[in-house]
Amino acid sequence: MLTVLITIFVLAAAAPMLHRLLRGATGWALALPVVAVTAWFATLVPAVSGGEVILESRPWVPALGLDLAFRVDGWSLLFLLLIAGIGALILIYAGGYLHGHRHEGRFFGFLLLFMGSMLGLVAADNLIVMFIFWELTSFSSYLLIGFNHEETKSRAAALQALLVTGGGGLALLAGFILIGQVGGTFSFSALLENADVLRHHALYLPILLLVLAGAFTKSAQVPFHFWLPGAMAAPTPVSAYLHSATMVKAGVFLLGRFNPLLGGTDVWHTVVTGVGAATMLTGALLALPQTDLKRLLAYSTVSGLGTLTLLLGIGTTLATKAAAVFLIVHSLYKGALFMVAGAVDHETGTRDVRSLGGLFKVMPITALAAGAAALSMSGFPPLLGFISKELLYEAKLAAPSGAMLITAAGVGANILMVAVAIIVGFRPFHGARQLPAKPMHEPPLALWLGPAVLAALALVAGLFPSLVDRPLVSAAVSAIRAKETTVELKLWHGLNLVLLLSVVTVLAGVFVYFLRQRCRALAARLAPVVRFGPERGYELGLRALTAVAAGQTRLLQHGYLRGYVLTVLGVATVLAAFALVRFGPATLWIGFEDVRIHEVAIGVLVLAAALVAANARSRLAAVVALGVVGYSVALIYGLYGAPDLAVTQILVETLTLVLFVLVVVHLPQFSTLSSPRRRRWDAAFAGVAGLVITLLVLKALHVESGERVSQYFAENALRAQGRNVVNVILVDFRALDTLGEIAVLSVAALGVFALLKLRPGARKEDR
């Protein structure tokens, strides 16, 4: 598995270069290895459908318990096949669609990056690895949606998708971390062995909600559905890939993956079923009035994702079966229809269904593929869509609670889907030719191959359901239910309620199709209401965020050094005061018994000189006062057994004073700049801060810090050939620190030189 992923990522990196070499053939060339990967996945089918789970693990960051672990069970394998198989077709399709585009090579790179992330996501066993791939899909889809980056609309849509799915990703990460805490491991396989631990833990609800937030944002569930139609700004191959087979299904994958760990509870049923049903209806209702082929399909995808979520929410064996089959069906027909929409757009230059018609004569193969896909979408026999719809109704009717409600919602949504299928799959190809007679022809092979293959698959699988039921669906259902389940699909279920519902659905769908004009008019009248939807919330949130950011930047980054200094010093003082109150012994070290008069005199001298320096009107007086402070401090060092410090202090003080005098003569006389009120305020703050420090020192003197490292230095100084312990520390025990110190001085010296000697003006003259 790792080899496959690395191959795909390497291909992604190499794609732009390959494109420079191969030009028009790049799509075909890149599809080859992907087809090989698909074939390899297909060879895993017999083993996996036999109940085997393929595990692969490689240590990555062992210290964190992080392994590059992969787990291929039935549910993963189903996704792997869809992702790689449809991915290969999309690569070919993209080669035709974007032929001659300026950044075609880059596009292939993004597409492969996305494919690799998606494969990694569905195969990952370690939750952290899964999350990393999850984020990679968000990231690469950002690049894909914003591919036409010159357009404001594309950029906004890409950002919207990234923020919504990225936000969900954060929730997911939090959920995963909680799972790791509760379950004691990040390995999905290990968690599966104690599946009930999570369900009975106090943190179950937060975990569930966080994971669901991740899944719902990714799978565009209400109220996060709005980013998906926006993402239609991407080139059509992206829409076909991301919005049929992959990215949006990642959320569904997650639901299925975590069903054995988190599913089966009342909360799960209520939330997942409810959100799924709401999404299913919302998507279907919003789809019908659309006139843009891609937007029609986008909203119908929202509806389809809602259906999948709903089924996983119901969670019965039957519902899970229906979900697995519908997943395949949906990927096949949606991928095909998107590619058809792109092909039509490519040939005619428009995607508006109102101005399309009679294209069958011009592009019969595309029309046939579109028709077959649309039939599958509306659940017509003998396509796989029919089997899926039968199963869907069966599962909904048998739902443990709210069966009637769910079924009614399902029938309603499906009726609308039938109408949408007719609009997308038949309307553009039949009837009168409406486009201006410009020379149009069948799109090239690359553009019709994808839809044709997918539509053919839907037909073949419908006729021979045994091709998919045992090998794929059984294993997938077993993985979701975490117990062995065998699925057998049949085209003909007999005359029963379910069949009746199917017939009603199709007839009503055709009826709604003829009412579509009126629906559009109604939708136009309702548009002002719809504008208050969740998308508006997103916009407001985004605007509020930038406003807060700008406000706090203005507040904190005001550009006055004094303010910054005050903030830093104030915070430091408050923290010190807090430490003073909160920690350490309660008593202060106060004692004057050991006082010597000359030492007190030095202390008084220091303070007096510092005060003089602070209030000096003349610069020279300030410098002299500063010198007094420095030399007095040196005296204190000398008195208390630190001759080295005293000597260094005297030397440095002298140098500093010389420097200061040299510089200060070039500066103007002191002038009073602040107002008296300001000065009083500062003085009060400084006084309080000084008091806090004094108290801190008095308290610190009480703290015994246990064994001192100095003892070690004192005992071993002689072994380092020195009698002055301070010197030995500097040049021997802590020699690296001293080296760092020298480096700092050198940098400072360079800086001083640059500041004094280099003139930007002079450089200009040099040029």
**Residues 635-654, interacting with other proteins (CB under 8 A):** 636-637, 639-645, 648-649, 652
Binding other proteins by CB under 8 A: which of 13, 547, 548, 569? 569
Q: Token pair of 448, please?
A: 């019709």
Residue 583, classified by CB atoms within 10 Å of its CB into exposed (0-12), middle (13-18) or buried (19+), is exposed
- Non-local (6+) Cβ contacts of 640 within 8 A are none
Q: Does 686 contact other proteins by CB under 8 A?
A: yes
Q: Please, what is the minimum distance in Å from the beta carbon of residue 162 to other proteins?
A: 32
Q: Token pair of 116, please?
A: 């690799």
DSSP string of 31-62, one letter each residue: HHHHHHHHHHHHHHHHHHHTT--EEE--EEEG
Please state at what angle helix 619-639 crosses helix 597-615, rounded to 10 degrees: 160
Q: Does 674 contact other proteins by CB under 8 A?
A: yes
CB nearer other proteins, residue 528 or residue 668:
668
Q: Does 139 contact other proteins by CB under 8 A?
A: no
CB nearer other proteins, residue 539 or residue 741:
741
φ/ψ of 702, rounded to 5, equals -80, -20
Q: Which stretch binds other proteins (CB under 8 A): 328-336, 344-352, 375-383, 553-561?
A: 553-561
CB nearer other proteins, residue 10 or residue 655:
655
Binding other proteins by CB under 8 A: which of 595, 764, 765, 767? 595
CB nearer other proteins, residue 63 or residue 754:
754
**Cα dihedral 455, 458, 463, 469 in deg (nearest 10):** 160
Q: Does 565 contact other proteins by CB under 8 A?
A: yes
CB-based burial, 414-435: b 16+ in 10 Å, e otherwise: bbbbbbbbbbbbbbbbbeeeeb
Q: Which stretch binds other proteins (CB under 8 A): 29-37, 229-237, 261-269, 597-605?
A: 597-605
Q: Does 628 contact other proteins by CB under 8 A?
A: no
Q: Does 659 contact other proteins by CB under 8 A?
A: yes
Residue 123, classified by CB atoms within 10 Å of its CB into exposed (0-12), middle (13-18) or buried (19+), is buried
Q: Does 266 contact other proteins by CB under 8 A?
A: no
- Non-local (6+) Cβ contacts of 84 within 8 A are 34, 37, 38, 41, 115, 119
Q: Please, what is the minimum distance in Å from the beta carbon of residue 527 to other proteins?
A: 44
Distances (CA, A) of 266 to 169, 207, 219, 254, 262: 24, 15, 22, 19, 11
CB nearer other proteins, residue 517 or residue 694:
694
Residues in contact with other proteins, counted by CB under 8 A, come to a total of 97
**Closest by alpha carbon to 522, among 277, 280, 286, 301?**
286
Q: Which stretch binds other proteins (CB under 8 A): 190-198, 273-281, 417-425, 739-747?
A: 739-747
The verdict on whether omega for the bond into residue 364 sits within 30 degrees of 0, i.e. cis, is: no
**Closest by alpha carbon to 385, among 482, 335, 458?**
458
State the first-to-last Cα distance of the chain, in angstroms, to the nearest integer.
58
Binding other proteins by CB under 8 A: which of 562, 578, 584, 617? 562
Q: Does 484 contact other proteins by CB under 8 A?
A: no
Binding other proteins by CB under 8 A: which of 86, 250, 415, 629? 629
Q: Please, what is the minimum distance in Å from the beta carbon of residue 564 to other proteins?
A: 10
**Closest by alpha carbon to 172, among 115, 136, 216?**
216
β-bridge mates for residue 292, sequence order: 352
Site for other proteins in 93-112 (CB under 8 A): none
The residue ranges of DSSP E strands in 17-146, in sequence order, are: 54-56, 59-61, 66-67, 70-72
Q: Which stretch binds other proteins (CB under 8 A): 123-131, 375-383, 427-435, 633-641?
A: 633-641
φ/ψ of 70, rounded to 5, equals -125, 150
Distances (CA, A) of 300 to 430, 612, 720: 22, 81, 80
Q: Does 725 contact other proteins by CB under 8 A?
A: yes
Q: Token pair of 88, please?
A: 């290969």
What is the β-pairing status of strands 70-72 and 54-56?
antiparallel
Q: Which stretch binds other proteins (CB under 8 A): 152-160, 170-178, 494-502, 614-622?
A: 614-622
CB nearer other proteins, residue 514 or residue 753:
753
d(CA 294, CA 300): 10
CB nearer other proteins, residue 209 or residue 730:
730
Q: Does 498 contact other proteins by CB under 8 A?
A: no
CB nearer other proteins, residue 530 or residue 758:
758
* Residues 79, 1 contacting (CB under 8 angstroms): no
CB nearer other proteins, residue 28 or residue 670:
670
Q: Which amino acid is at 574?
A: V
CB nearer other proteins, residue 248 or residue 717:
717
CB nearer other proteins, residue 521 or residue 709:
709
Q: Please, what is the minimum distance in Å from the beta carbon of residue 549 to other proteins?
A: 19
Q: Token pair of 417, please?
A: 């889907």
Q: Which stretch binds other proteins (CB under 8 A): 269-277, 485-493, 529-537, 621-629?
A: 621-629
Binding other proteins by CB under 8 A: which of 619, 621, 624, 720? 619
CB nearer other proteins, residue 39 or residue 691:
691
Q: Does 580 contact other proteins by CB under 8 A?
A: no
CB-based burial, 650-674: b 16+ in 10 Å, e otherwise: beebeeebeeeeeeeeeeeeeeeee
Q: Does 607 contact other proteins by CB under 8 A?
A: yes
**Per-residue contact track with other proteins, 193 to 222, x per CB under 8 A?**
------------------------------
d(CA 69, CA 563): 52
Q: Token pair of 122, please?
A: 């569905």
**Closest by alpha carbon to 299, among 135, 121, 530, 536?**
530
Q: Does 500 contact other proteins by CB under 8 A?
A: no
Plot region of 69 (φ>0 → left; ψ -120 to 50 → alpha; else → beta): beta
CB nearer other proteins, residue 170 or residue 588:
588
Q: Which stretch binds other proteins (CB under 8 A): 220-228, 333-341, 462-470, 603-611?
A: 603-611
Q: Please, what is the minimum distance in Å from the beta carbon of residue 745 to other proteins?
A: 5
Binding other proteins by CB under 8 A: which of 517, 724, 735, 739? 724
Q: Please, what is the minimum distance in Å from the beta carbon of residue 639 to other proteins?
A: 7
Q: Which stretch binds other proteins (CB under 8 A): 21-29, 93-101, 466-474, 590-598?
A: 590-598
d(CA 657, CA 626): 8
Q: Does 10 contact other proteins by CB under 8 A?
A: no
The verdict on whether omega for the bond into residue 223 sits within 30 degrees of 0, i.e. cis, is: yes
Q: Does 557 contact other proteins by CB under 8 A?
A: no
Q: Does 510 contact other proteins by CB under 8 A?
A: no
Binding other proteins by CB under 8 A: which of 43, 546, 587, 671? 671
CB nearer other proteins, residue 430 or residue 619:
619
CB nearer other proteins, residue 433 or residue 619:
619
Q: Please, what is the minimum distance in Å from the beta carbon of residue 593 to other proteins?
A: 10
Site for other proteins in 694-713 (CB under 8 A): 694-695, 697-698, 700-701, 708-710, 713
Q: Does 60 contact other proteins by CB under 8 A?
A: no
Distances (CA, A) of 718 to 641, 714, 727: 19, 8, 12
